[in-house]
A and B are shown apart, each in its own frame.
Chain A
Amino acid sequence: MAEEVKLFGMWASLYSRRIEIALIMKGVQFEFIEEDLQNKCPLLLQCNSIHKKVPVLHNGMPIAESIIILEYIDETWPDNPILPRDPYDRAMARFWARFIDEKLIWVSWDAYSSKEEDQGKAIEEACKQLKALENELKEKEFFGGDTVGYLDIAAIMVASWFGVMQEVMKVELLTEENFPILRQWVEKFVDCPIVKECLPHKEKMVEFTRVLLKDFLASR
């Protein structure tokens, strides 16, 4: 049969964790190849010659970009679908996944990293965007409804990165007071067995992030 599915990833990359979660949810056997991002292996550079990043899924041919890989996984292994069936619901899931990656993370980074005089405004903006995402949960258990779906997987950033950044940057955005529903979602999401298995250890992530940002932190 076809060669084995390979996932080029990195333990601290939430983007590559997204793919792990999806593959495990679908019961797809795969080989995980841990990349040293300071010393990328030739196979990774060949598979993703344009961006040279993880994750890359290799299923006979390579595919890069986590959100795109998620859709590919859903189309290739249709059991346990992660995207909704209805085209409008699919459009909404795609809209909010893009929102997380293209807007939410960046405004949140601004809030975490702004100088003191600009921080108030940056925090206000980040909270406004977080609220928009929270409102999308409505009365559902998960963004995907009763079970974890594509948008929940994409929102791993909210479940993990925000908590890490809070410790590293000493700024809290996702407060219980302002975002009770989103906080509740985080708790349910990280408690799911597959997610629990795939989430990087928080303290390790905090330490990793501190090292990654050491020049930035030192300059403040």
Chain B
Amino acid sequence: MGEEVKLFRSWSSPFALRIVWALEIKGIEYEAVFEDLSNKSPLLLQYNPVHKKVPILVHNGRPIAESFVILEYIDETWKQVPLLPEDPYERAMARFWAKFCDDKVLTSIWSAFIKQGKEQEEALVAAAENLKFLEKEMKGKKFFGGERIGYVDIVLGWLANLVSIFEEIVGLKIVDEGKFPLLYSWMQDFAEAPIIRDNCPPRDKMIVKFQALLDAAIASSSSSSK
């Protein structure tokens, strides 16, 4: 049976990386189509006219955008190695935490990286509060999914490789091992899992990219200060 699976991604998008990990974990054959996000292909714009972003999964010619939506589609279409739990309450909790990770954790940590001065301080405080909730949710499990990597781990996975890059660039500790021992240990376990380790963008390239983003943000905030 011919199954055509294509993933439109960029080399560094943490959202697209979620889909790479999900496909690899499930052993699904796919073709990766790398996009230059400064020069988006007509195909990308056709497949995701609403958001014009990666990732986009195209399965047998039908496109799906938005990483959470794609992850659920993958889990429903390829039933091996389930990412979401079976029980409806547990599924609701996984979805809740995934949303929390993006809406609160990612937003506050990104602000802590990209902002300066008072805004950065406030973002660090917010990030710490949000991380406390996650730390509590770990409840002594190895992964949020239990014994193996699941949906929430995949969604939060950017924490495991991006945070140390942010910390290196700005010279600040965001996830302190002393304050968040369970989360810290999760970050190590996740990053060292073979599929994750083998499917991460090169660290030195990431440092260059995010340093450039920070430099641009600083330049634009100082030139627009009134």
Where the two chains meet, the residues of A that have a C-beta atom closer than 8 Å to any C-beta of B are 50, 59-61, 63-65, 68-69, 71-72, 75-76, 87-88, 90-92, 94-95, 98-99, 103, 129, 132
Contacts and interface: CB of A to CB of B under 8 A. Distances in A.
Contacts of A76: 88
A46 B49 CA distance: 41
A99 B91 contact: no
Contacts of B70: 91
A103 B62 CA distance: 23
A91 B64 contact: yes
Given A63-B96, A94-B69, A132-B50, A71 B91 contact: yes
Interface SS, B side: helix
Interface of B: 49-51, 59, 62, 64-66, 68-70, 72-73, 76-77, 88-89, 91-93, 95-96, 99-100, 133
Given A87-B77, A90-B76, A91-B64, A75 B100 contact: no
Contact of B66 (A69, A90, A95): A95
Contacts of A75: 88, 91
A98 B69 contact: yes
A94 B64 CA distance: 10
Contacts of A88: 59, 62, 64, 73
- Give the residue among A63, A91, A98, A103 with the most B Cβ atoms within 10 A: A91
Contacts of B89: 59-61, 63, 72
Contacts of B59: 88
A71 B69 contact: no
Nearest to B64: A91
Contacts of B77: 87
A50 B73 contact: no
B95 A71 contact: yes
Contacts of B100: 50
Given A87-B76, A95-B69, A64 B96 contact: yes
Contacts of A68: 92, 95-96, 99
Contact of A72 (B65, B92, B133): B92
Contacts of B76: 87, 90
Contacts of A99: 50
